[in-house]
Chains A and B, each alone.
Chain A
């Protein structure tokens, strides 16, 4: 029981972290119709910038400065790169962001090398917040939960209650009309792209110490982020939240509960072939839940797309 609670909390941390990436990505998508393939690369940039700043001033300044720097870079890329490609259509835009992801990875390797960086949890948060039946829960993860929830509430407030949010929402559905009303829609786009990438950067800053800061971190998370927003429904903020939490929990539970295929098959009435290594079904018999954990999100995505192409909460198909 206590392990269950720890897992629920761990899954919540993973899910909320995913959500910080997904919310920005899904906002950018619903606004420009382009999936930013490089979104996870901005997350990686956030972690690397924060590491570089933390060398000089410590963790806390990096928490503020790194996301801003990432956001500014994101806005510049939107202004001088993406907007240029926009006129060629959505597919070249997607290819552009894909190339950007490749380039950012190379640039990161160029400046910081290929190995993992010693970017660590700040000392002020390096203690166990509480423990449930012997399983301690680090304070840093509590901090992560608070940051993510705070971001979500702020985002929701800005989008639904403020004038800027209203303009953004209007620009999502009727960009021409909003433009005609005298709003600078390209500037709104640039701002949304900047804020979206800054949120990805913030996610990188707080995830770097826990998940590791290395050049492969973008690729590792990137595909999962896409899967998440496709499952949630492209362009849906609530869908992104639900799908992020779902995938966070699926991954956490699949990694901790060692359900073995062998036990299932035996209980159904099959007998295990001996030795198993000569059997054609060896892979089926030796299958365990932690082993298939990493592919569950993809499997879920394929199933969702086959039965509900618009995603769980999506309204439109593409």
Chain B
């Protein structure tokens, strides 16, 4: 990118570090350091830590899916194994081994890497469906083993530890949430930067080439299998770091950290954010964690809404949330973004109404079925009403149908505005 040079004579003389690419990292670091001043509460820090772990995990997943073209249904294995191993190391520290806690993620990463090396040796021979199926099989295998091999996985109750037993670092024993927060974001930044730089190395670039056309990469002299294997190993390393961070934060790991549901969730997170961009998984992790915690507070149906959102993303915006934003960069650069403001503003209210009324419909249905006999009072959006009465349901249905109808009518207009905004020629503008 910016480090390359046009002529071989001047190669290497251009500045290695470009200010434009450093700035986002500095901003992110400063923001993360200042964040506890804004949201100092224990629960806020817990959510941010959870976000950070999901970000590292999702970024490592995207090394496979987005950058390497490998769809894995068993990525939780590497995070989980890294986490379990870190937990055992943590317990060894309690038994007398000298190791400061901030160094623990290295061990988790190495262990995740080791298993990625092992399993990748046969699973990366093919991409596509075969790879996906092997990853699923291995994932199920390891998850099932976790119940059998009690000495390592701790059986059903899992393995737990105490993070405060290690030597103090600058007077910190990591007992408080804030200290763990700084440890987590420290590793978040290191891991994210590591993965970003990895994607800019020749091997990261070749991984993209293999993803796009494995035959041509082979003709260039690269073994597609080895390239995939290397991406897989690197991805396993960062997943292991995420596992170690999980171990440090929660001090317990169970079978749940390895199973198919966790692997599926990370696919969902990554895809929601967008697999085509480096920041995609970051956006996905933040949005997903917020949705999970905030929606989870208000409704029991959040899984259903998430499923609908995910399916809609796959069908209509296969490049995810980041892709949706990136679509607007071209009109922005051409100075035509103004064409879209009015249609979008017109679309906004019917869209919000459609979502709210659709959700209301389902919530009322759910309330009718779930609430106890005689308990027919429910409140939604600040309104309290009788869920068994006909009018709330009727209102929800009518509002939903009308707003969908309006969206349908407006869509042609939005499409026209979109064509206008992305039209590069001069005529008509």
- Residues of A participating in the B interface, judged by any CB pair closer than 8 Å: 33, 35, 81, 84-85, 88, 90-92, 94-96, 98-100, 102-103, 105-107, 109-111, 113, 219, 223, 226-227, 230, 234, 280, 282-283, 287, 291-292, 294-295, 298-299, 301-302, 305-306, 309, 317-318
Q: How many of B's residues come within 8 Å of A, CB to CB?
A: 45
Which chain A residues lie closer than 8 Å to B311 at the CB level?
A: 81, 96, 99-100, 103
What's the nearest-Cβ distance from chain B to residue A22, in Å?
A: 13
B148 touches which of A107, A111, A291, A306 (Cβ 8 Å)? A291
- Cβ-defined contact, B318 with A88, below 8 A: yes
B308 touches which of A92, A103, A109, A292 (Cβ 8 Å)? A103
- Cβ-defined contact, B129 with A234, below 8 A: yes
Chain A residues touching B, majority SS:
helix
Smallest CB gap from A301: residue in B: B137
- Cβ-defined contact, B141 with A90, below 8 A: no
Whether, in the assembled complex, B132 has its beta carbon less than 8 Å from a beta carbon of chain A, the answer is: yes
For B141, B149, B264, which residue has the most chain A Cβ atoms within 10 angstroms? B141
Chain B residues touching A, majority SS:
helix
Which chain A residues lie closer than 8 Å to B144 at the CB level?
A: 294-295, 298
A223 touches which of B65, B134, B260 (Cβ 8 Å)? B260
- Cβ-defined contact, B268 with A295, below 8 A: no
- Cβ-defined contact, A295 with B315, below 8 A: no
What's the nearest-Cβ distance from chain B to residue A128, in Å?
A: 33
What's the nearest-Cβ distance from chain B to residue A192, in Å?
A: 18
* A306, B126: Cα distance in complex, Å: 11
Whether, in the assembled complex, B366 has its beta carbon less than 8 Å from a beta carbon of chain A, the answer is: yes
B271 touches which of A95, A283, A317 (Cβ 8 Å)? A95
Which chain A residues lie closer than 8 Å to B132 at the CB level?
A: 35, 91, 94
Q: Which 9 A-B pairs have the closest CB atoms?
A: A103-B307, A298-B141, A106-B304, A295-B144, A99-B311, A301-B137, A99-B310, A96-B314, A102-B307
List 5 extra interface pairs beyond A226-B136, A283-B149, A302-B138, CB under 8 A: A85-B314, A100-B311, A103-B304, A301-B137, A318-B127
* A280, B150: Cα distance in complex, Å: 10
* A219, B140: Cα distance in complex, Å: 11
Contacting A at CB under 8 A, from B56-78, are 65, 69, 71, 73
* A3, B314: Cα distance in complex, Å: 50
- Residues of B participating in the A interface, judged by any CB pair closer than 8 Å: 65, 69, 71, 73, 122, 125-130, 132-134, 136-138, 140-141, 144-145, 148-151, 260, 264, 267-268, 271, 301, 303-304, 307-308, 310-311, 314-315, 318, 362, 365-366, 369-370
Which chain A residues lie closer than 8 Å to B148 at the CB level?
A: 283, 287, 291-292, 295
A35 touches which of B133, B145, B264, B315 (Cβ 8 Å)? B133
* A95, B129: Cα distance in complex, Å: 11
B267 touches which of A35, A95, A305 (Cβ 8 Å)? A95
17 sample A-B contacts, Cβ–Cβ < 8 Å, listed by A number: A33-B129, A35-B129, A35-B132, A85-B318, A91-B128, A92-B314, A94-B129, A223-B137, A223-B260, A226-B136, A234-B129, A282-B150, A287-B148, A295-B141, A298-B141, A298-B144, A301-B134
A84 and B315 contact, Cβ closer than 8 Å, known pairs A95-B71, A226-B136, A291-B148? yes
* A81, B127: Cα distance in complex, Å: 24
B150 touches which of A106, A234, A283, A298 (Cβ 8 Å)? A283
Which chain A residues lie closer than 8 Å to B301 at the CB level?
A: 106, 110
